[in-house]
């Protein structure tokens, strides 16, 4: 799992790797979260908010964050 938010750029990057192998992870200065684990990512969107969560194969929420409009 990885969540990146580079400063000065207008995008955010989400990497879930669902269905893949859990490989060692590295961090960059703009990386907000990383985890070497099996699982998936969920995204919920409303008119005012986007919520995303990284959830491992045991159902534990490893990281959760949201963006408001």
Instruction: Give per-residue pLDDT as tens, 43-60.
Output: 999 999 999 999 999 999
Nearest Cα to Cα of residue 12 among 29, 31, 27, 34? 31
Distance CA 52, CA 62 (A): 11
pTM of the model: 0.82
Q: Is 57 left (phi over 0), alpha (psi -120 to 50) or beta?
A: alpha
The 10s digit of each residue's pLDDT in 21-40 is 777 777 888 999 999 998 89
């Amino acid at each position: 799992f990885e969540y990146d938010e580079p400063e000065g750029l207008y995008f955010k990057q989400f990497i879930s790797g669902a269905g893949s192998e859990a490989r060692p992870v590295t961090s960059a200065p703009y990386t907000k979260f990383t985890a070497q684990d099996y699982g998936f990512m969920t995204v919920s969107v409303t008119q005012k908010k986007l919520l995303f969560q990284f959830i491992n194969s045991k159902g534990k929420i490893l990281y959760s964050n949201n963006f408001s409009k």
